[in-house]
Amino acid sequence: MKRFKKIAAVLAVMMIAVLTMAACGSEKQDVAPSDQRTSAGFENFEGEILGGGVAAEDIFTKADLTMVNVWATYCSPCIEEMPDLGKIAKEYKDKGFQIVGIVSDTYDPQDPTAKDIVEQTGADYTHIVLNTDLMNGPLQDVQVVPTTFFVDKDGNKVGQTITGSKSEEKWKKIIDDLLSQI
């Protein structure tokens, strides 16, 4: 019986480790862009912006291409890539590109942890906090963070969903490829 408990404990620890790795993705293989466009699920969307304000589906009309980066305050790979995303947002601002973050683990637009992370990482692009519109719409298939997808100015998903974090260089290559298709 004692041996069975040890085996069960080892299996439980291994299961938790696997689930933890799946829940907070680090850099994975690059995903080739796709010309196929489908609705991103933001129709009739309205959400609160971290720090105050409201965002709606018209947020995508501000750029030809929007990177939607779903992140969480507990996710180290998410937070580690945010300084690069902040730099990219500034550098690509005049190229018809923007980044919108979605904080997947808070409903509070004044969440101090999320606000501190954004400030400390320099990721000063728009961040929307979680709500039922997002959970039942564009995020219903999101199972890991970070998860990133791209949306055109009409609210259509462009390319493929990408899980895991990337370096600044790899994000720029993906963004440049997608911008060339728009």
Sheet containing 147-152: give its strands across.
37-39, 156-163, 147-152, 65-71, 97-103, 126-129
Cα separation, 78 vs 84, in Å, equals: 11
Given a cut of 60, whether residue 2 has pLDDT beyond it is no
Q: State the pLDDT at residue 5.
A: 43
pLDDT band, very low/low/confident/very high, at 3 (cuts 50, 70, 90): low
Q: How large is the average pLDDT for residues 81-88?
A: 98
Task: Report residue 170 as tokens.
Answer: 């790899």
Given a cut of 60, whether residue 8 has pLDDT beyond it is no
Cα separation, 168 vs 36, in Å, equals: 25
pLDDT in tens, 98-128: 999 999 999 999 999 999 999 999 999 999 9
Q: How large is the average pLDDT for residues 9-29?
A: 43
More confident residue, 110 or 33: 110
E-strand stretches of the chain? 37-39, 46-48, 54-56, 65-71, 97-103, 126-129, 147-152, 156-163
